[in-house]
Amino acid sequence: MTAAERLKDAIMAAGVAALLALPLIGFETVDTGGPLGIKTRFDYIAYAAIAVFLGRLGMRIALDWRRNYRESLVDKLDPVAAVKHQSVLSDLGQKADKWLMPVMIGFAIIMPFLPFANRTVIDLGTVVLIYVMLGWGLNIVVGLAGLLDLGYVAFYAVGAYTFALLSMHFGFGFWETLPLAGLLAATFGVVLGFPVLRLRGDYLAIVTLGFGEIIRVILLNWQPVTGGPAGISGIPRPSFFGFPFSADPPAGMTSFHQLFGLEFASLHRITFLYYLILALALITNIFTMRIRKLPVGRAWEALREDEIACTALGINPTNTKLTAFAIGAMFGGFAGSFFAARQGFISPESFSFIESAVILAIVVLGGMGSQAGIVLAAAFLTLLPEVAREFSLFRMLAFGAAMVLIMVWRPQGLLAHREPTMRLHPAGAKPGGGKP
């Protein structure tokens, strides 16, 4: 692209940004003592257009420079050397994916004991781990089975309301309700799976989006059971295997700090919740890694690559899709149950479409099928709005801009490498037993 073409492209982008910014930030209502007046903010529109112009121009220059660099690199190398270069990059990706996960798990385990870890940091780490667990659950459906699901938050809501209703009305504890929440969410996954067995791609995405909205509307309107828009409050908090985290436990009960002879601190409950969701997330990861090596896991990946070839090989696509929906939904239900127990209050506003979009963005941004990539993406998408909290007016703008930049830089995701679960020949070996 020539310099004139880059300039023309940047001017067009700035014009579109100015048109979009006009109704969004171009006008402001002001109190004039009587009827509301309207104040124009054309300076804001100019700032937005200038920012888009500079950003678009800089991005075009960077993309052109990267493409030219890659082409020059290929020109300097002969075809064999180019293949070796790609192989080296692939090996680096494998090693990063292999070693990154243990490092991140180790950091997550010791994080509450690090000097900078206070109540806010541990609480933020808990939120990140909730999204990591949701991302790993959706990764089964989207990343492994290749089924685009835009209504995953519905299973999250089913788990949360299951815990809230059973604990409030039947006195069930957290550990008793957890498997029931997962089972009920998995049942909803099968219910969703049946109507979409013949659908693929965009059509499947529309149906799952509708399913998520149906669940949210039911939660809003089934007021006698769900509390409607007011939600459910006063949900019991989880205890340490029957020992509550309270300063003054009920008569005949021993609290957590009395059990261990500690001075009461509210941080005990926060730390316990952190390790609880960490354990649930690790179980999700181990389960996913193990099931990928089983026949059903390989059937998911075969279905993702080519459904027709998958059927020709004798794999039943109906059962394969149902298992993916059910297992993915089950982990969403577990995460929802934990969310309700941690918050103590839930309402339909917590399970809107934006939550599904964020969870799907975590899976896509991390690299579909990559467990370590999902952790990085969940941390990025959760922490970025907190970092930008100082700029509250432009918080979501910065969030969206960062996502656009990353998808331009890494359209395949942060860690797109996926190690095959089975190789016909050992890695690096030549078919027939010879050296590569």
What pLDDT was estimated at residue 276? 92
Give domain status of residue 434, yes or no.
no
What pLDDT was estimated at residue 184? 93
- Spatial separation of the C-alpha atoms in residues 170 and 162, rounded to whole Å: 11
Residues 6+ apart with CB under 8 A from 362: 131, 134, 135, 138, 374, 377, 378, 381
What pLDDT was estimated at residue 95? 61
- Spatial separation of the C-alpha atoms in residues 84 and 81, rounded to whole Å: 5
Q: pLDDT digits over 332-348, tens only?
A: 999 999 999 988 899 98
What pLDDT was estimated at residue 430? 55
pLDDT at 91 over 90: no
Q: pLDDT digits over 351-364, tens only?
A: 888 888 888 888 88
pLDDT at 281 over 80: yes
Give the closest residue to 333 by CA, choosing from 122, 164, 105.
164
What pLDDT was estimated at residue 116? 84
Secondary structure element (H or E) that encloses residue 27, with its range: strand 27-30
If asked whether residues 296 and 154 sit together in one domain, one would say: yes
Number of domains in the chain: 2
What pLDDT was estimated at residue 75? 63
- Spatial separation of the C-alpha atoms in residues 321 and 195, rounded to whole Å: 11
- Spatial separation of the C-alpha atoms in residues 209 and 231, rounded to whole Å: 22
Give domain status of residue 176, yes or no.
yes
- Spatial separation of the C-alpha atoms in residues 356 and 142, rounded to whole Å: 12
Query: 350 in helix, strand or coil?
Result: helix
pLDDT at 290 over 60: yes
pLDDT at 265 over 60: yes
pLDDT at 436 over 50: no
CATH label of the domain that carries residue 226? 1.10.3470
pLDDT at 92 over 80: no
pLDDT at 89 over 80: no
If asked whether residues 205 and 334 sit together in one domain, one would say: yes
pLDDT at 410 over 80: no
Give domain status of residue 84, yes or no.
no
Residue of 371 and 334 predicted with greater confidence? 334
Look up residue 114 and give its amino acid: L
Residue of 386 and 432 predicted with greater confidence? 386
Residue of 414 and 217 predicted with greater confidence? 217
Residue of 242 and 299 predicted with greater confidence? 299
DSSP β-bridge partners for residue 28: 39
pLDDT at 162 over 50: yes
If asked whether residues 130 and 49 sit together in one domain, one would say: no
- Give residue 88's pLDDT band: very low, low, confident or very high (50, 70, 90): low
If asked whether residues 19 and 137 sit together in one domain, one would say: no
What pLDDT was estimated at residue 182? 92
Q: What phi and psi values does residue 183 have, to the nearest 5 degrees?
A: -65, -45
Q: Which domain holds residue 52?
A: 3-76
The lowest-confidence range among 212-221, 246-255, 261-270 is: 246-255
Give domain status of residue 267, yes or no.
yes
Give domain status of residue 429, yes or no.
no
If asked whether residues 70 and 130 sit together in one domain, one would say: no
Give domain status of residue 371, yes or no.
yes
If asked whether residues 69 and 177 sit together in one domain, one would say: no
- Spatial separation of the C-alpha atoms in residues 304 and 196, rounded to whole Å: 15
Give domain status of residue 98, yes or no.
no
If asked whether residues 66 and 125 sit together in one domain, one would say: no
**The two structure tokens encoding residue 10:** 């940047």
If asked whether residues 125 and 27 sit together in one domain, one would say: no
What pLDDT was estimated at residue 350? 86
Show the CA angle centred on residue 84, arms to residues 82 and 88, nearest 5°: 115
If asked whether residues 208 and 284 sit together in one domain, one would say: yes
The lowest-confidence range among 110-119, 152-161, 260-269 is: 260-269
If asked whether residues 61 and 149 sit together in one domain, one would say: no
What would the mean pLDDT of 195-221 be, rounded to a whole number?
A: 83
If asked whether residues 225 and 346 sit together in one domain, one would say: yes
Looking up tokens 């390989």 gives: 298
Q: pLDDT digits over 291-323, tens only?
A: 888 888 888 888 888 888 888 888 888 888 889
- Across the chain, what does the average pLDDT equal? 82
Give domain status of residue 143, yes or no.
yes
What pLDDT was estimated at residue 132? 92
Q: pLDDT digits over 169-188, tens only?
A: 888 888 888 999 999 999 98
- Spatial separation of the C-alpha atoms in residues 316 and 255, rounded to whole Å: 52
The lowest-confidence range among 159-168, 224-233, 261-270 is: 261-270
Convert 151-187 to b/e letters by CB count within 10 Å (16 or more is b).
bbbbbbbbbbbbbbbbbeeeebbbeebbebbbebbbe
If asked whether residues 21 and 125 sit together in one domain, one would say: no
